[in-house]
A and B are shown apart, each in its own frame.
Chain A
Amino acid sequence: MAIALLSLVGAFLAFYLLAANLGWTPPVPCGTGDCATVQSSEYATVGPVPVSGIGLAGYVALLALSLAGLQDRLSRSRLIPFLLFGGALFGVLFSGYLTYLEAAVIKAWCRYCVASAIIITIVFAATLPELKRIRTGGGR
Chain B
Amino acid sequence: MKNFYIIILAVAVIGAGVVFYAIRGGSPALEPVDLGELGNAEMLELAQPAHVFGDPDAPITIMEFADYQCAGCMRFAGLVKPQVDAAYISTGRARLVFHDFPLINLHAHAFLAARAARCAGDQDRYADYHDLVFDTQNGWSVMESATGHFKELATQLELDADAFNDCLDSDRHADVVTANMRLGQAAGVNSTPTLFIHLGGGQAYQLGGAGFLDIQRAIESAGSGN
Please list the residues of chain A having a beta carbon within 8 angstroms of any beta carbon in chain B: 1, 4-5, 8-9, 11-12, 15-16, 19, 23-32, 34, 36-37, 39-42, 67, 70, 108
**Which of the residues A16, A32, A67, A108 comes within 8 Å of B23, measured between beta carbons?**
A16
Q: Is the interface of B mostly helix, strand, loop or mixed?
A: helix
Please list the residues of chain B having a beta carbon within 8 angstroms of any beta carbon in chain A: 1, 4, 7-8, 11-12, 15-16, 18-19, 22-23, 25-27, 67, 70-76, 79-80, 103, 106-107, 137-138, 142, 190-194, 208-211, 214
A11 to chain B, nearest CB (A): 8
Docked-complex contact B211 and A26, CB < 8 angstroms: yes
A69 to chain B, nearest CB (A): 13
- B191 contacts which chain A residues (CB < 8 A)? 29-32
Docked-complex contact B73 and A30, CB < 8 angstroms: yes
A selection of 10 A-B contacts at a CB cut-off of 8 Å is A8-B8, A16-B19, A16-B23, A29-B193, A30-B103, A30-B107, A31-B70, A32-B191, A36-B75, A67-B8
With A23-B75, A23-B79, A37-B71: A29-B8 Cβ-Cβ less than 8 Å: no
- A30 contacts which chain B residues (CB < 8 A)? 67, 70-73, 103, 106-107, 191-192
**Which of the residues B4, B11, B23, B194 comes within 8 Å of A25, measured between beta carbons?**
B23
B5 to chain A, nearest CB (A): 9
**Which of the residues A25, A37, A67 comes within 8 Å of B22, measured between beta carbons?**
A25
